Amino acid sequence: DGGITQSPKYLFRKEGQNVTLSCEQNLNHDAMYWYRQDPGQGLRLIYYSQIVNDFQKGDIAEGYSVSREKKESFPLTVTSAQKNPTAFYLCASIGGKKLFFGSGTQLSVL
Q: Where does this chain bind another protein (CB under 8 A)?
A: 4, 6, 31, 33, 35, 40-45, 48, 50, 58, 88, 90, 92, 94, 97-104, 106
Long-range Cβ contact pairs of 52-61 (< 8 A, separation 24 or more):
58/33, 58/34, 60/36
Q: How many Cα atoms occupy the beta-carbon half-sphere of 13 within 13 Å? A: 24
CB-nearer residue toward another protein: 80 or 88:
88
| Beta bridge pairs of residue 35 | 45, 90
CB-nearer residue toward another protein: 17 or 103:
103
Residue 33 Cβ, how far from another protein at the closest point, in Å? Answer: 6
Residue 83 Cβ, how far from another protein at the closest point, in Å? Answer: 23
